[in-house]
Amino acid sequence: MNIIFNIFNDILRYLFDLTGDWGMAIVLLTVIVKLILMPFSLKQKSSLKKQQELSLKVEELKKTFKNNKKKLEMELQKHYDSNKKHMFGCMITFIQLPIIMTLYNVVLKLPIEASTSIIPWVTSLKLADNYHIIPLVYSSLMCMPNLISYLKVIKNSTIQPISKSNVIVTIVISILFTIKTPIAIGIYLITSAAFAVIENIIYSIFFKENLA
């Protein structure tokens, strides 16, 4: 973990030397990490899609063979065996966690005087956003992956339309999570959320069938 931390820390400082802005450096570092993890993330989305399809198929089989328990077990076993390879994709989240947590810790260890032109109303990225713009932007982005299914270009998306109650819960949790968070972490979270929105759109339009 220390090796990853040192690598991220060196990259962040290099990006700061390149841009002269800690906020831009955080954005670029987050994008770099997300691009590295993107193939795994897309594969995970494909695996989750397969699991959804399997659940629907299981329900159909239970109805079809409700009076033939032996046949039902045989058919279920066939489908479970054929979908085992897709279950591994759900483990990718655990692969990402150490990297994401390390990136989070790198951002937390920024110099106390660090500031950014991205958010000019704060004097230090160590402070929280007293105007609460960061929490509002982050909560909006967190809802978007579940709302993109309404776009016409993504009419075949496997993402289920989000309910109003889920929207409210997502917004409240996101705001509570970031309302006292340092600006540096807010930039990291917003960049990650924005990247996730773009990634969902890319997957829904271009990769859904190829990765299945």
- pLDDT of 66-79, one tens digit each? 777 777 677 667 66
Q: Which of 134, 95, 127 is nearest to 108 (CA)?
A: 127
Residue type, 145: P
What Å distances lie between residue 165 and 28, 147, 210, CA to CA?
34, 13, 33
Neighbouring residues of 119: CB distance < 8 A, sequence distance ≥ 6: 23, 129, 133, 134, 183, 187
Report how far residue 127's alpha carbon sits from residue 112's, in angstroms, rounded to the nearest whole number.
Answer: 9
Q: 135: closest CA among 83, 90, 190?
A: 190
pLDDT of residue 85: 54
Helices 22-64, 69-82: axis angle to 10 degrees equals 160
**pLDDT given at position 29:** 93
Average pLDDT, the chain: 78
For residue range 148-182, what is the model confidence (pLDDT) as tens digits?
655 555 544 444 555 667 778 888 899 998 998 89
**Paired tokens of 183:** 């600006």
**Stated pTM of the model:** 0.77
**DSSP class of residue 29?**
H
Give the pLDDT of residue 83: 60
The pLDDT value recorded for residue 81 is: 61
Decide if pLDDT at 136 tops 80.
yes
Task: Name which residue leads in pLDDT, 46 or 141.
Answer: 141
